[in-house]
A and B are shown apart, each in its own frame.
Chain A
Amino acid sequence: MRSRRSLDYAAYAVFILIIMLAPLVLEAFWLNRIAKFLVYGILGIAVALCWGYAGILNLGQGLFFGAGAYMIGMSLKLASATSLQQGSVKPVPDFMLWNAAPGAPTELCCINHASFLWIPFQWEGFGTFMGIALPAVIALLLGNVVFRKRVSGVFVSIITLALVLLVRLVVIDLQPITNGFNGLTDLGDFKAFGIDFDPYEVATYYLVAVVLALSLIGARMLVETRAGLILQATRDDLNRARYLGFDVPAYQTFFFVVSAIIAGLAGMLYVVVAQFVSPTFMDLSFSISMVVWAAVGGRGSLLGACIGAILVNIVAATVSDTPAFVEAWKAVLGLIFVLVVLFLPHGLAGFASDIGDRLTRRRDGESESQPQPVAAPGFVPTRGSTR
C-alpha cells in the first residue's frame, strides 16, 4: 500500500516538473497552445473531483467555466485599448456604443439599462474575485437545492445539463451587456503582480502552469483528508453514510463548490490565454468533451483526468491539423471514448496503476521470499471491472 502511494506522488512530481520545464523547448506558438491545454487539464481535475470522487456526473461544468470566463472577460474588455478610446474618460465597451440609442451618454452608468453592472469591473481585482465567487455561489445554491432534495445519479446530470443550456440562452439574450452570440473579443492583457500577461509570453504559460499545479496538489490534499474519505464513502453508498451520522448533502455541496471554483479558475485562465469569451463555452458539446477527457484519463484519478484532458487535446490539435481530419476529429474523439470505456474502464490512470501494481508486486516478490497473502474465499478483485 505504502509503495503504491509513493509511486503516485512520484507521478505527480514528474508531471509538475514536466510542465514547469516545457517552456525550455517550446516556441511561442506552441507555448500558447499548450497553455490552453493545461487549462483543459485544470478542467479535468474539476471533473474528476466531482465525478470520480463525489460520484456526481456534472454535465454542465461549462457553466462554471463560462461564469469564470465572463467575469474576468468583462474586466479585460474594459482594459482594452479600444474601450478606452470611445470618446469618454471612462472606458466603455465598443459593442455597447454600436447599439446605443441615439443621444445616450457614453458612460457605463447609463449607456443602456443594464450597463451599470459593468461599473465595478473597471477594477481587475473585482473581475478576478467574481470569477471565483460567481461559480462558487452558483454551485452552493444549486448544490443546496439538488442534494438537499436528495436528487442523485442521472437526475443531477440532467439538471446540470439543462441549467448550462438555460444560462447559455440567457447570456446570448442579454445582448446589450454580453454582446450575445459574439461574446467578448478584443480584450486587454491580464495584469497582476506588476506583470503584463501577454498570451504569447512565458509569464502567461507559467501563470497557468502554477495554477494547475496548485489546483492539482490542493485537490489531492483535499481528497486525502477525512472529509475527502467521507465524500468517497457517500459516493459508494449515500444511505450508509447518512446512517453513520454524516450530513451527506453538506459533503456533496462542499466538493461541488470546490469543483466549481476550479472550473471557474480554468475559465479565467482560458480568457487570459485565448483573449476572448464566447457563449460557446456553455455549449453542451464542450461540457461533454470535458467528461470524455476525464474518462480517457481516468475519472478516479485527479492526475489521470488532468493528463487525459491534455493528451486528448494534443491529439485533437494534431489530428485536426491534418486536412483530411478537419471535420472528422470529433469522430476520432468519439472512437477513443468508446475504446476507453470498453477496454480501459479506469482510463489511462487505471492502466498505469495496474502496471505500477504489477511492478511493485514483482519487486516485493523478489526482495521477500514470503508468499503473497492468500485472498479470502469469495474474493474477486474489482480493479478493472465496470461499475
Chain B
Amino acid sequence: MTAALTIDGVGVAFAGVKAVDQVSMIVEEGELRVLLGANGAGKTTLMDLVSGKTKCSEGRIYLYDNEITNQEEHRIARAGIGRKFQIPSVFRELSVRRNLEVASCRNPRVFANLRFGLSPASRARLDEVSALTGLSEVADQIAGGLSHGQTQWLELGMLIVQDPKLLLLDEPTAGMTQAETHKTADIIKGLRGLHTILVVEHDMAFVREIAERITVMHLGRVLAEGDMAAIEANPDVRRAYLGSRGIMAGAA
C-alpha cells in the first residue's frame, strides 16, 4: 500500500492554545478514514492545515511524495486535494450545471480559460457526476435555490468532477434529514476505492455506515486509531469522554 496522505508531527497554536499538537497520521491510498472527536478536538483545524487555510507552525504534510506544507490553498487544491466545507459553499447565482462546469476547468490559468465551452469528455463527466449526486433534474436551477441537502451534494459533486486524489469532507451530513444522510452515505460509499477520503463526522449512525478506520482526536492530539470495534473498546477513548456516555452517545 502507498500512503496517500502523510501528516508528520504538525501543530499550530491559536493565542497560545495548541489547537493541533504533534499530530501524525498516515492515510493509505483508497482508504476512507473518519476523524472523530468532541468539539474543540482539532478536527477541522487539522483539515485547515492540510488544505492550506491555516499555516502549520511545525511539522510537514505530504500528498503522496509531494510536500504541500503551508502552500497556497489553490496550489494544494491543484496538487489533488478537494475540500468540502462544514457550511456548504456553492456558487449561489450560477445554475447547478454551471457550478459543475466551473469545477471541471482543468487548467487553472486565466489565459488558458479564454475559450468557450467544454470538451465532450468533460461534458460526459458532468452528466455522470450530476447523475451520481442526483442533481440531473435540477441542473438548470440556480444553486442558491437548492435545498440544504442538494447544496451539500452539489458541493460534493464539484469536488468529484475534479477527480482529486484526496477528498476532505467536513461534516458532510450536518443539518441533513435521515433520508438525506443515507443518500450521502451512498454517494460516499460509491467513491470508496476511487478516492482517498478523510471525513470529519459527528453523526454516529453515519460513521457506522461508512467507517473503515477511525482516528479519534482529543484536545489537539491523536488519542486512538483503529476500526470501529477497537475504538469502542478503547479505554483511553472511554476515559476521555467519561461522563457523557462516551462518544457513542449519539449511536442509540
Contacts and interface: CB of A to CB of B under 8 A. Distances in A.
Contacts of B99: 233
B150 interface: yes
A254 interface: yes
B93 interface: yes
A380 B151 CA distance: 13
Contacts, number: 119
Interface string B152-165: 00010010001000
Contact of A380 (B82, B90, B110, B145): B145
Contacts of A237: 89-92
Interface residues of B, number: 46
B115 A225 contact: yes
Contact of A224 (B105, B116, B148): B116
Nearest to B103: A244
Contact of A379 (B74, B116, B145): B145
Contacts of B101: 226, 229
A379 B82 CA distance: 27
Interface stretch (A22-30, A99-107, A245-253): A245-253
Interface in A244-284: 244-248, 250-251, 254
A247 B108 contact: yes
A302 to B, nearest CB: 16
Interface string B65-95: 0000000111101100011010001111110
B141 interface: yes
A193 interface: no
Given A237-B92, A240-B90, A376-B141, A226 B74 contact: no
Given A233-B94, A243-B74, A381-B142, 10 more contacts: A1-B140, A230-B102, A237-B92, A239-B85, A240-B155, A244-B162, A376-B150, A379-B141, A379-B145, A380-B145
25 contacts: A225-B114, A225-B116, A226-B118, A227-B114, A229-B105, A230-B113, A232-B94, A233-B91, A233-B102, A235-B93, A239-B89, A243-B73, A243-B77, A243-B82, A243-B83, A244-B82, A245-B74, A245-B77, A245-B108, A246-B74, A246-B108, A247-B109, A376-B147, A378-B148, A382-B93
Interface of B: 51, 72-75, 77-78, 82-83, 85, 89-94, 98-99, 101-103, 105, 108-111, 113-118, 137-138, 140-142, 144-148, 150, 155, 158, 162
